[in-house]
Structure 1
Amino acid sequence: RLYNAIRTVTDKPILYAINTHYHWDHTNGNTIFHQAGATVVAREMTKEFMVNRSPRQEAFLRSRGFTLGDPPFLPQQTFAHETELDLGNQSLHLIHLGKAETDDATAVRIPAENCIVSGDTVMTGSFPIFGQPVMNEGLMANHDWINTINELRTYAPKCVLPGHGPLAQDAEIDLLLQIEAYFLTEVRKCVEQGMSLAELLAEMETNFPDWIRSIAEVWGTPRYAILRVYRGLIDDPEPGWQHLKPSAIPAADAEKLHERTHELEEFEAYRETAEEVAEGNDFGLAIAILKTAAEKFSNLPEAWTAYANLVTQASRSVSSVLEKGDFFVEAKKALNTALELDPDYAPAHLLRGYNHILSAYRNGDETKTGLASIYKALVNGLQGTQLAQAYFSIGLAHRTNGDETLAREAFAKAIAADARFMPAQLANMA
């Protein structure tokens, strides 16, 4: 997508692709730019991290529902702390200002424009994510990141191009510093008072100031910030904080669950009850009802698929892309169980393919795996709304791959299968 966007404004050769740090979302396009003739440039530490930290990072991202494709192409030109790249009419100054979201953070100064490309040292527009959840990095209960931002400011840039979000001026950078200082201070206070993690989360999340609550969430969340700082204050052999994080899937009240299920006998009754509860937005209880049903009717692939479908729907109730991963992991387990019971069960293949393609569409990932599941579902028989969902998924895959003609053909087939299937109608109008 980035390469195509560049080509809409210039056809000049692309000389360099610079990795500001090792994270997948900043390196996964290396192959595309290398094939276009660019030299991939990064710090020596970044190249090292791309190799040594890749397996753990990849495993985590795949568990969150991302389809990553091949490993990123490794940098061809590396440097220790700083270097310059000559573009002919101007130069770029690549420099390590200090630790930030990652230890290998690189900033790119453009002296002629008095601007800095910060990578994820600066993030704007939504709540920042303070480091990979499975790594010891980022806001680890110290002021390294704050010091790095202050070092960046010594250059007095006219503007900062952040790793995520709109251009950063002083106000946006001030907000980032305010967020970091708040969590460093408040989490430490709670830990020093001897609170457990559960107590700490309850205390802080109940008392967030309005200015914290008002920040949009896309990747990072206030809870992630708490966990990041907390992890830096405790001894734990496991890197990162993901293993400490409570599931984003809401829990159900045990008494309410018993009240709604103790008289149910047939699976269909469980399904109808769960749908009724979900319509009232009590996804925790609805999920618990269908999980109870799946465990009770454990040999029924329909039960596991219905449970997976509801969990997938409930993922829309959280805004963070990474928090949605808790739902995707649970749905994937349920679908695996359904397909172990019946390898040809079409609705399970359909949902697996749909989830994969939807993730690919959002994140620019590969669609082949999802399409394979959709075609298995079609071979094994679908009709009505399920057939419409299959063709809609195929259309979404084609749109992800940039083939709008095939996408619209698939959306038309979806509408023909079920004229009331709104996602296909909306996609066809886009």
Structure 2
Amino acid sequence: MNRPTRRSVLKTGAFFACCGMSHIRFAQSQSAHSAVLPVTEIAGGVFAFAGLPEMMNAENEGEICNVGFVVGTDAVAVIDSGGSVAEGRALIAAIRAVTDRPVRYLINTHMHPDHIFGNAAFSDAETVVVGHRNLPRALASRGDYYLQSYRDSMGGALMADIRIVPPTKLITDEEQLDLGGRHLALKAWKTAHTDNDLTVFDQQSGTFFTGDLCFVDHLPTMDGSLRGWIDQLGDLKAFKANLAVPGHGPVPSKWPEALDREERYFEVLARDIRKAIADGVPMAEAVKTAAQSERGSWRLFDEYNERNATAAFAELEWE
């Protein structure tokens, strides 16, 4: 991916602006923990960081998903905290390079570690953690497993400060957050990528933070319901957004075109799995061939497709 990592940023220590879009590329030389996350101003007062299309590990410090923040007249809202407390702190440093307004909200789009492992960096009492109504239960169920399972790949040093921080403000359907003359529309979705997906729409700029309901380049991953995801694609497309920040992929992305490849993948996966079920192919065999025609179109296909196919088979065989 042609984007400098924070490690290369640490070497350059550069700060510049161009084309009317602010690019923060400044970092202290002492350590990665004191770095400023390299964010881009994709719309007025809307900043985002594009994660790497990789698995979480010590080298990338868990910086694999897209995170961002929106600046209002009175306060700031952060959308996802990243895959480590180190990334969360670097995100705070990026905010402070732009504004001294308080971080009023930290919005978690769902439960996965690459989106919530940085939560502990936002321990200020003034910051309210916001999430889907199902997020507390999901974190209570999975949190200890996440902390244990990522210790090997991330390393003890990086994991030391990470803890599970559940939301205190829950979104049950749709709700607006006021940043002072700037409103964010939050929507809690039915089971799709997970059972706790939340999206954020900045009404002023028309920027749509989709969380992992939208993947671009990175193969979509399923931890919820294939049918539920497919059924809600129409509602996702209906958002009249000017641009989108997908959970993974280019920042920004065109909307609703960003959903096109994801929709095609789901159609192929569902078709192949349904045919295998109709033909009496055992799951163990079906998951190895399902959606293989899509292999050349996605990053991390080999890491996730068989897992997706297994979940799809278990769901679709009882239609």
8 A contact 1:129–1:219 mirrored in 2: no
2: CA distance, partners of 1:18 / 1:202: 37
| Structure 1 residues 219 and 130, CA gap change in structure 2 (3 angstroms) | farther
Segments of 5+ residues of structure 2 without an aligned counterpart are 1-86
Residue equivalent to 1:149: 233
* Structure number having the greater strand percentage: 2
1:121 equivalent in alignment to 2:213:
yes
1:202–1:109 CA distance, 2 compared to 1 (3 A):
closer
1:44 paired to 2:128: no
Compared CA separation, residues 61 and 149, structure 1 to 2 (3 A): farther
Equivalent residue, structure 2, for 1:22: 111
Pairing of 1:153-168 with structure 2 (within 5 A): 153-166=237-250, 167-168=252-253
- Say which SS state the counterpart of residue 53 (structure 1) adopts: helix
Please tell me whether the aligned partners of residues 34 and 40 of structure 1 are also in contact (alpha carbons under 8 angstroms): no
- 2:278 maps to 192
Identity across matched positions, percent: 25
Contact preservation (8 Å) 1:41, 1:76 = yes
Partner of 1:378: none
Relative contact order, higher structure (CA 8 A, sep 6+) = 2
The answer on whether the counterparts of 1:21 and 1:104 sit within 8 Å (CA) in structure 2 is yes
Q: Is the 8 A contact 1:97 1:152 kept in 2?
A: no
Change (3 A) 1:96 1:201: closer
The equivalent of 1:222 in structure 2 is: 305
AA matched with 1:228:
A
1:57 and 1:230 map into 2 onto residues whose CA distance is: 25
Q: Matches of 1:63 and 1:103 in 2, distance apart?
A: 27
Matched, 1:102 2:194: yes
State the TM-score, normalized to the length of structure 1.
Answer: 0.47
Aligned to 2:79: none
Q: Flag the 1:44–1:153 CA change in 2: closer, same or farther, 3 A.
A: same
What do the CA deviations read for 1:405-429 (whole angstroms, capped 9, x no partner)? xxxxxxxxxxxxxxxxxxxxxxxxx
* CA deviation profile, 1:223-272 (whole Å, cap 9, x unmatched): 2322221232458xxxxxxxxxxxxxxxxxxxxxxxxxxxxxxxxxxxxx
How many residues were matched structurally? Answer: 224
Partner of residue 175, structure 1: 261
**Contact 1:107–1:118 under 8 Å retained in 2:** yes
Change (3 A) 1:196 1:58: farther
Q: Secondary structure of the equivalent of 2:170? A: strand
Q: CA RMSD in A?
A: 2.6
- The reply on whether 1:213 has 2:305 as its aligned counterpart is no
Note the alpha carbon deviations across 1:21-46, whole angstroms, 9 max, x for none.
12222222222123384211112211
Q: 1:58 to 1:31 in 2, by over 3 A?
A: closer
Helix, strand or coil: the match of 1:15? strand
Q: Give, in whole Å, the separation in 2 of the partners of 1:176 and 1:8.
A: 35
